[in-house]
Amino acid sequence: MRIETIAVHAGHRVDPATGAVAPPISLSTTFERDPDGSYPRGHLYARNSNPNRDALEACLAELEAGAAAAAFASGTAATLAVFHTLAPGDHVIAPRDVYHGTARLLREHLAPWGLAATFVDMTDVAAARAALTPRTRAIWVETPSNPMLKISDVQALADLAHGAGALCVCDNTFATPILQRPFTLGADLVVHATTKYLSGHGDVMGGAVVARARAGVFDAIRAFQAAGGGVPSPFDCWLALRSIRSAPYRVRAHAENALKVATFLARHPRVERVHYPGLPGHPGHALARRQMSHFGGMTSFQVAGGRDAAMAAAAKVRVIIRATSFGGMESLIEHRASIEGPGTTTPENLLRLSVGLEHPDDIIDDLSQALG
């Protein structure tokens, strides 16, 4: 089955009780036992499972062609669940420009707990190899990366991880399963902030861990989901599942618009550098062509004249909105270094742009007047 068909049908069935084609929302926190004490309908308490979460998880597993998925209340809760399967004393290798929330989790919350992390340039497989220790249990890959849009070689990093007895975990939030299938490249786990493209309307927080195999590490993630309790509400699961149905068409349109916008920016005299893997001059262009079916809806660019010039351009947008996050209908622009805060490696003149579903010429006109 093709991904468009999976997105429409996975996790959906006509409600046997009423014939409803759109799924009902099951708000119940608790489920009835039979007189013999059993739970023949499969649910017991909504933190452990509920019908809307089951449907979303089934859909996410099918979208990634994985064996199973666990849904969480945010992408960060999903990330934490993966790290929590490791033990104090273990070591992970993560990209130097990993999503800043993931870096913060590792540095401020997991390092004191005993999980060591080394941050490397993940586009350089030799650098990742050099960071291996006897206690390395996971290599965390995020490609394209946020906000520099660097492309890492998932297959080579998965081979490296497996040779060292470690897991390869891929944060597939930027690409989505529509543009990139990490399990076909050897990844063991895929993490998503469904908050972004999969939910796609800027109105749901959610995350997920998808596993290539049902046994092994996924059992620990499933156990932590119920025990840790960072679970999404039935309504959020319903909203995410509803949005995924249109995701293949939305993501393709985001990517087509982003290519046009990045091409415009690359020719603009006030733009120093554009980071978009779809541009032939991008250092990861050839690799992105191999491991992605399109280059995605995110781009970032550096404005000539430093921080003040970047801030001034962001101040002038009229159609695009100045806000963090990405993957929704509306284009969003953000001065990334100031939200990442002290210690950021992001250039001060960089603006990150989530290219929305407005007409691309209107986005380009807005950028043109804002850059002056």
Ligand X SMILES: *Cc1c(COP(=O)(O)O)cnc(C)c1O
Question: Which residues are annotated as catalytic?
Answer: 47, 99, 171, 196
Q: Work out the angle between the directed axes of helices 217-228 and 75-84 (0-180°, nearest 10).
A: 120
Decide whether 221 or 371 has the Cβ nearer to ligand X: 221
Choose the binding region for ligand X from 178-186, 190-198, 264-272, 315-323 (rule: CB under 6 A). Answer: 190-198
Q: What residue number has its CB nearest to ligand X?
A: 75
Q: Which two tokens stand for residue 367?
A: 């950028």
Compare residues 296 and 370 and give the one whose CB is closer to ligand X. Answer: 296
Rounded least distance, CB 192 to ligand X, Å: 8
Of 57 and 171, which CB lies nearer to ligand X in the complex structure?
Answer: 171
Tell whether residue 99 is a contact of ligand X (CB under 6 A).
yes
Q: Which listed range, 46-54, 55-63, 171-179, 282-290, lies at the site for ligand X (CB under 6 A)?
A: 171-179
**Does 205 help bind ligand X (rule: CB under 6 A)?**
yes
195 binds ligand X per the rule CB under 6 A: yes
Q: How far apart are CA 16 and CA 100, in angstroms?
A: 44
Residues in the chain: 372
CB of 144 to ligand X, least distance (A): 9
> Applying CB under 6 A, does 142 fall inside the site for ligand X?
yes
74 binds ligand X (CB under 6 A): yes
Residue 49 or residue 76: which is nearer to ligand X going by CB? 76
Q: Which stretch binds ligand X (CB under 6 A): 68-76, 259-267, 289-297, 313-321?
A: 68-76
Which pairing describes strands 116-120 and 91-95: parallel, antiparallel, or unpaired?
A: parallel
Cα–Cα distances (Å) from 123 to 8, 79, 180, 281, 334, in that order, read 35, 21, 17, 16, 24
- Rounded to whole angstroms, the Cα distance separating 102 from 95 reads 10
Span 278-317, contacts to ligand X by CB under 6 A: none
3-class DSSP state for residue 220? Answer: helix
Distance in Å, CB of 66 to ligand X, minimum: 18
- CB closer to ligand X, 196 vs 294: 196
Cα–Cα dist 56/63, whole Å: 10
If one asks whether residue 75 binds ligand X (CB under 6 A), the answer comes out as yes
Among 146, 199, 225, 299, binds ligand X (CB under 6 A): 146
User: Within 10 A of 126 (CB to CB), how many other CB atoms are there?
Assistant: 10
Q: Which residue is it, tokens 């541009």?
A: 279
Q: Does 193 bind ligand X (CB under 6 A)?
A: yes
173 binds ligand X (CB under 6 A): yes
> Phi and psi (nearest 5°) for 128?
-65, -40
Burial class (CB in 10 A: 0-12, 13-18, 19+), 118: middle
Order of strands across the sheet that contains 136-142: 68-72, 207-211, 189-193, 167-171, 136-142, 91-95, 116-120
Nearer to ligand X, 62 or 142 (CB): 142
Return the amino acid letter for 27: L
Find where tokens 């870096």 sit: 103
Query: How does DSSP assign 47-114, residue by residue?
Result: TT--HHHHHHHHHHHHHTT-SEEEEESSHHHHHHHHHHTS-TT-EEEEETT--HHHHHIIIIIITTTT
Identify which range of 8-16, 28-36, 56-64, 69-77 contacts ligand X by CB under 6 A. Answer: 69-77
CA end-to-end distance (rounded Å), the chain: 48
**Contacting residue, 8, 25, 31, 101, with ligand X by CB under 6 A:** 101
Binding part of the chain for ligand X, among 47-55, 122-130, 189-197, 269-277 by CB under 6 A, reads 189-197
Enumerate binding residues for ligand X (CB under 6 A). 74-76, 99, 101, 142, 146, 171, 173-174, 193, 195-196, 205, 207
